[in-house]
Structure 1
Amino acid sequence: MTLESLLPLILFALVSTITPGGATTLATASGAHFGFRRSIPVMAGFALGLGSMAGAAAAGLGSLLLAFPALQIAMKTLGTLYLLWLALRIGRSGQPNSAGGMAKPTSFAAGVWMLWHNPKGWAVTVGAAASFAMLASGPLALAMLLGLTFSLMAAFSLSLWCALGQLLARMLRAQWQWRALNLVLALLLVVSIISLWSD
């Protein structure tokens, strides 16, 4: 297996993970409020969550989950409620280290949980498993390849978004600027819910 043969998969995973959505918005918000180092756990949770989803999709679990519409609705509902709670938390917060600031960053487990309750993520990883099956000798090898690729690309993409959040934090001084940023990030998180429910 050569780098040239892997390039389409790498590009697919990169585009899938770097485009704006719930995880990228949360990485940006976490970077702005807590800095890069304290955001590593949630970014690792997102990356491992997506990588494990890709591995599970390659092993056949993704297709099984997507075959049950009631399960998809339950996953979407749980994911929506969690994203709304996070949006409310971000939107109501103020400047970091102030009385109205967010108390602590989102945890590693919450990052994994959020990814695993996203049917869009399952659809993307199931599509990747079908599209790139010829790169591996069997389901186990494909699960390892997709899991590693999606984890690495997600870690890279989320690191960029988190760094952007940290850069924004250095530019903001006044309380109203933080309020505006937090409201924009909260609205982007709410908008990401629309894609969760679109077919």
Structure 2
Amino acid sequence: MDWAWILAAAGFAFAMAGTPGPNNTMVTASGANYGFRRTLPVAVGMGIGVAVIIFVVAAAGSTLVAEPRVRLVLKWVGIAYLVWLAWRIANAAPAGLAAESGRQRPFTAVEGALLQLVNPKLWVMVAGAVVTYGKGGAGDLTVPTAFAIIFGGATLASTVAWTVLGVGAARFITSERSLRIFNRAMALLLVLSLVPVVLE
């Protein structure tokens, strides 16, 4: 492992983590609804979840992600769960009403980490990273550890940036109606981000 490998893996990680997808859509909506501080735990949880999963897969080798039955189960469980999350985002009460009713809250760090288990985009990223940059060295934890740091860090940086984008968007959302429209647009984007996975 050298600097060329690190830069190549980091470029791949930031390209995959930075594009629109389930994680980024969720934190953007959460940032607009609940603000930066209350969204930060889920962003951190997402980064940790990605780091743990890619470490385990890279340490075990590419066999896990190459197994068609495993990938099929992960794909459809992930799609079903993310459609449910899209419904939850679309129907989220504005933050003021949520505080009064006590029924709505931002996602937690644990929920953000566990979401990665059923995040189809993550499994595509993990498979691509392990096959392309994994060097096939099961038993040596240097590469899995580097993967965890690089991909977990890229995910955290991306989700924080998208949270800030959501917080910024909230400045232009001046009514309950406009917030509901924003939430529904974010839910639609989340569903649309699943289309490439469904067609795979």
Structure 2 CA distance for partners of 1:36 and 1:51, relative to 1, 3 Å: same
Question: Residue type matched to 1:124 in 2?
Answer: M
CA distance, structure 2, for counterparts of residue 133 and residue 62 of structure 1: 8
Look up the match of 2:149.
148
Bigger mean CA offset, 182-191 vs 112-121: 112-121
Q: CA deviation at 1:36?
A: 1.2
CA distance, structure 1, for counterparts of residue 71 and residue 139 of structure 2: 27
Q: CA deviation at 1:142?
A: 0.6
CA distance, structure 2, for counterparts of residue 93 and residue 124 of structure 1: 29
CA distance, structure 2, for counterparts of residue 126 and residue 73 of structure 1: 13
Residue 79 of structure 2 is aligned to residue 97 of structure 1: no
Look up the match of 2:50.
50
Moved over 6 A (4+): none
Look up the match of 1:133.
134
Look up the match of 2:84.
85
Question: Residue type matched to 2:32 in 1?
Answer: A
Q: CA deviation at 1:62?
A: 5.0
Look up the match of 2:192.
191
Look up the match of 1:40.
40
Structure 2 CA distance for partners of 1:79 and 1:102, relative to 1, 3 Å: farther
Look up the match of 1:9.
9
Q: CA deviation at 1:44?
A: 1.4
Q: CA deviation at 1:105?
A: 0.7
Kept in 1: contact 2:47–2:156 (CA 8 A): yes
CA distance, structure 1, for counterparts of residue 171 and residue 102 of structure 2: 16
Say which SS state the counterpart of residue 45 (structure 1) adopts: helix
CA distance, structure 2, for counterparts of residue 111 and residue 188 of structure 1: 18
CA distance, structure 1, for counterparts of residue 103 and residue 196 of structure 2: 26
Query: Which consecutive residues of structure 1, in runs of 5 or more, have no partner in the other structure?
Result: none
Structure 2 CA distance for partners of 1:77 and 1:4, relative to 1, 3 Å: closer
Among all aligned residue pairs of Structure 1 and Structure 2, give the percentage whose two residues are the same amino acid.
30
Look up the match of 1:60.
60
**Number of equivalenced pairs:** 198
Kept in 2: contact 1:9–1:132 (CA 8 A): yes
CA distance, structure 1, for counterparts of residue 127 and residue 74 of structure 2: 16
Q: CA deviation at 1:193?
A: 2.2
Q: CA deviation at 1:66?
A: 3.4
Say which SS state the counterpart of residue 86 (structure 1) adopts: helix
Query: Which consecutive residues of structure 2, in runs of 5 or more, have no partner in the other structure?
Result: none
Q: TM-score, normalised by structure 2?
A: 0.87
Q: TM-score, normalised by structure 1?
A: 0.88
Look up the match of 1:75.
74
Look up the match of 1:181.
182
